[in-house]
Chains A and B, each alone.
Chain A
Amino acid sequence: MGALSIRQVRKSYGHTHILKSIDIEVEKGEFLILVGPSGCGKSTLLSMIAGLDTPTSGQIMLADRDVTYAPPKDRDIAMVFQSYALYPNMNVAENIAFGLEMRKVPKAEREAAVKRVAKMLQIEHLLDRKPGQLSGGQRQRVAMGRALSRNPALFLFDEPLSNLDAKLRVEMRAEIKLLHQRTKTTTVYVTHDQVEAMTLGDRIAVMRDGLVQQLGTPEDIYTRPANLFVAGFIGSPAMNTITAALGKNGLMAHGVQLPLADDDLAAIRTGQVSDVVYGLRPESLRFADTGLAGTLRMIEPTGPETYAYVDTAVGDLVVRVPGHVSQAVGDNVWLSWDTRTVHLFDAKTEARIVAA
């Protein structure tokens, strides 16, 4: 039994179905990420866990207690909002202590909690200031402090880093991770940023159109995406995909034969799949002396690695190369890859084809 169970949760407004049966179990101390494009229902699901919204049907359990219709204050949950939602009329210390005050914690204990949290987040020097006098990063810390002060059973984050600039976002991301390692509080974290999802999560639920597309560890999600959507959503630059058909000689795309491992070929045959999407991560591709011929069309250096866009007979492919690329735009190049790094999907159902 987990710390949080979401069972067959649905949400509809008339004929619009926001969530179509969600089942997720979160273990105690786990860091779960809900990730997906906007409109996938991840924020609605988070609101329901918080008690700010109720499902049309289904159940939400917190440590064996049915809280589906319980008000937020009876759930022992703390939440960090995208806009931080600090109370502008209270100073930092009052903001942090407000939740404790509402729960009738004695003053001495409240002050101790404020001190402990302020020290943990290094905001001791800001306690007397109003939120309006703080920078974005400081507000973010105070918002986390407010959530931490109560030692909640469950932590919720709703895109907490979206309002920060790129550098601060990386810093705060690391801090959230460190904080979780230290406190081991069960956490549900909503984001649309796949890097946040990969770096922070113990497990990731990739959502689209009110359904969980895949629930697994970051490694699972990245190396064995369950379908074409997950494959395309996680990873940047996105996975290269080539639509191919099964012929007598194996997989053919635009007259080019695509190399396949024997067990993959067998899986396609047994599954009787006719049209296949052949996926290659940009880092699986490398420049070679032979292989798939193409022309180098564009180079994007990022410093530690370079993205090379190659125009080939099967379409444009992105290659991720460590360091810099010695070839120049317009050069003829050849690409090769290991057949074990290939991802195969059924073009019709978009599901992953799993080798036996």
Chain B
Amino acid sequence: MLPSTQQPVFDWTRALLWAVLIGLAAFFLAPLYVMLSTSLKTMDEIREGSLLALPHAISFEAWAKAWSTACTGTDCGGLAPFFMNSVKMVIPAVLVSTLLGAINGYVLTKWKFKGSDTLFALMLFGVFMPLQVILLPMSQILGYLGLASSIWGLVLVHLLCGLPSTTLFFRNYYAALPDELIKAAMLDGAGFWRIFWRIVLPLSTPILVVTLIWQFTQIWNDFLFGVVFSSTDSKPLTVGLNNLANTSSSVKEYNVDMAAAMIAGLPTLFVYIVAGKYFVRGLTAGAVKG
């Protein structure tokens, strides 16, 4: 650090560094800017002005239309029903897959049994498996279970496909938790579940946040399962957005498309902004022994 009495000198390397960083930030933020500004313009303004220009007068008409009256195929109810479908799908799927991942991680590190390491290795395959592979067998299974084309079917698929990652996160986190803690609790008279609820889970905040964000983003943004395993009443927001943008009418309403895309992206953006610092903290937790 410079002594405080010394005048700061202009530093070329530092200026270059700043220029590169600002340039890159602008590059990555540009699409978001275009989306936002376009969604706030009227169609006339879009036709006349340039892509990067700020809107003359801010108009929320496109947002309102995207939400409640835009046409997706033959149905003209906007994105609202799709948004609600996504919410109904994402909440149970995220909560249950995270909780099961935590329990799996707890068992695989603190209650090891014969073959538990092999089981974990097999679960890891799930993290790397291309999801297209499971489309056909899964639709058959959903059919047997009577869950085909329903939101609960989508919840089940996301839950199962999320388990390998959530288990991996929690297992690695709990591996760093001292075994003596569990032993002490056992001597204190606590059993499997009490140790989990009273000691292990309260110590899991960073990894809980990471897993919740991860699962939320994955499931909210999923398109493949949404388009394959849903029917008219159970389509998630990503499918709705696709249909909205692909519904051809006489004019292409860019402002409505952009507003719809913003609506689809806002929840994940919101989750990152609120819990982002936990995300970084949780990803690096355990890397350095505190």
Contacts and interface: CB of A to CB of B under 8 A. Distances in A.
A79 B187 contact: yes
Interface stretch (A83-91, A179-187, A205-213, A287-295): A83-91
Given A89-B199, A89-B202, A102-B194, A73 B181 contact: no
A58 interface: no
A144 B181 CA distance: 15
* Of B185, B187, B189, B190, most A-chain CB atoms within 10 Å: B187
Interface string B187-205: 1111100100011001100
Contacts of B178: 83, 85
Interface string A68-89: 0001110001110111011111
Majority secondary structure, A binding face? loop
B189 A99 contact: yes
Given A83-B178, A85-B178, A89-B199, A102 B190 contact: yes
Nearest to B183: A52
Given A89-B199, A89-B202, A79 B191 contact: no
Contacts, number: 58
A71 B184 contact: no
Contacts of B202: 89
B203 A89 contact: yes
A313 B112 CA distance: 58
A134 to B, nearest CB: 16
Q: Name B's interface SS.
A: helix
Contacts of A334: none
B186 interface: yes
Given A88-B203, A89-B199, A89-B202, A81 B188 contact: no
B205 to A, nearest CB: 9
Given A88-B203, A102-B194, A73 B186 contact: yes
A50 interface: yes
B180 interface: yes
A153 B191 CA distance: 20
Contacts of A98: 185, 188, 190, 198
B183 A73 contact: no
A306 B19 CA distance: 70
A82 B184 CA distance: 11
Contacts of B187: 50-52, 72-73, 77-79, 99
A146 interface: yes
Contacts of A86: 184
A103 interface: yes
A73 B185 CA distance: 9
Contacts of A83: 178, 180
A85 B181 contact: yes
Contacts of A88: 203
Nearest to B202: A89
Contacts of A72: 183, 186-187, 189
A51 B188 CA distance: 12
A99 B180 contact: no
Contacts of A103: 189
Max count, chain B CB within 10 A of own CB: residue among A50, A52, A78? A52
Given A83-B178, A87-B185, A98-B198, 9 more contacts: A51-B187, A72-B187, A72-B189, A73-B186, A79-B184, A85-B180, A86-B184, A87-B199, A89-B203
Closest 6 CB pairs of A and B: A102-B189, A99-B188, A85-B180, A85-B184, A89-B202, A73-B189
